Amino acid sequence: MTVRAVEAIAAADVVAYHCARHGRSIARSIAAKHIRADHIEERLMYPLTVETTDHPGGYRGALDDFYQEAAARLAAHLDAGRTVAVLAEGDPLFYGSYQHMHKRLAHRYPTEVIPGVTSVSASAARLGEPLVEAEETLTIIPGTLPEEELTARLAAADSAVVMKLGRTFPAVRRALERAGRLADARYVERATMPGERTGRLLDVDPESVPYFSVAVLPSKVAVLTVEPGDVPGQPDGARNPDEAPEQSAAATDTGTTAVPGEVVVVGTGPAGPRWLTPESRGALAAATDLVGYTTYLDRVPEHPGQLRHGSDNKVESERAEFALELARRGRRVAVVSGGDPGVFAMATAVLEVAAEEPYRDVPVRVLPGVTAANAAAAAAGAPLGHDYATISLSDRLKPWEVIAERLRAAVSADLVLALYNPGSRSRTWQVAKARELLLELRAPDTPVVVARDVGGPGESVRVLSLAELDPAEVDMRTLLLIGSSQTRVTDRADGRRLAWTPRRYP
The domain spans of the chain are 3-105, 119-217, 235-240+260-370, 373-500
**349, 265 contact by CB (below 8 A):** no
From residue 91, how far is each of 47, 372, 464 by CA, in Å? Answer: 23, 45, 57
CATH assignment, 235-240+260-370 = 3.40.1010.10
Report pLDDT for 258: 43
310, β-bridge pairs = 292
Secondary structure element (H or E) that encloses residue 292, with its range: strand 289-293
Of 381, 385, 374, which Cα lies nearest the Cα of 502?
385
Contact at 8 Å (CB) between 275 and 455? yes
Pick the CATH number of 373-500 from 3.40.470.10, 3.30.950.10, 3.40.50.40, 1.10.10.10: 3.30.950.10
Residues with Cβ within 8 Å of 28's Cβ and at least 6 positions away in sequence, in order, are 15, 17, 19, 35, 87
Tell me what pLDDT residue 298 has: 87
Cis amide prior to 92 (ω within 30 degrees):
no
For the chain, how far is it from start to end, CA to CA, in angstroms? Answer: 73
Domains 119-217 and 373-500 share a fold: yes
Between the CA of residue 491 and those of 185, 466, 497, what are the distances in Å?
53, 17, 4
Q: Residue 269 has what DSSP assignment? A: B
Residues across the chain: 506
Strand order in the sheet with 416-420: 388-392, 416-420, 478-482, 447-452, 460-465
Low-confidence spans in the chain with pLDDT less than 70: 49-51, 222-260
The answer to whether the beta carbons of residues 193 and 89 sit under 8 Å apart is no
Neighbours of 413 (CB within 10 A): 10
CA angle 240, 242, 244 (to 5 degrees): 70
CATH number of 3-105: 3.40.1010.10
Angle, alpha carbons 484-485-487 (nearest 5°): 65
Distance CA 273, CA 151 (A): 19
At residue 260, the pLDDT reads: 63
pLDDT at 234: 45
282-324 pLDDT per residue, tens: 888 889 999 999 988 988 877 777 899 998 877 899 999 999 9
C-alpha distances out from residue 286 to 58, 261, 311, 339, 342, Å: 42, 12, 21, 20, 21
**In CATH, which of 3.30.565.10, 3.30.70.20, 3.40.50.2300, 3.30.950.10 is domain 119-217?**
3.30.950.10
Opening angle at CA 312, ends 311 and 318, nearest 5:
70
Closest CA to 389 of 367, 346, 348, 418: 418
CA 14 – CA 154 distance, rounded (Å): 42
> What percent of the chain is modeled with pLDDT above 90?
70
- Angle of helix 147-156 relative to helix 278-286, nearest 10 degrees? 40
* 405/443 Cα distance (integer angstroms): 19
Instruction: Order the strands of the 159-163 sheet from edge to edge.
Output: 138-142, 159-163, 213-217, 186-189, 197-200
CB distance 333 to 244 below 8 Å: no
- pTM for the full predicted model: 0.73
DSSP code at position 114: P
- The pLDDT value recorded for residue 274 is 81
Question: Helical H runs in 80-214?
Answer: 98-105, 119-127, 147-156, 169-178
Amino acid at 385: G
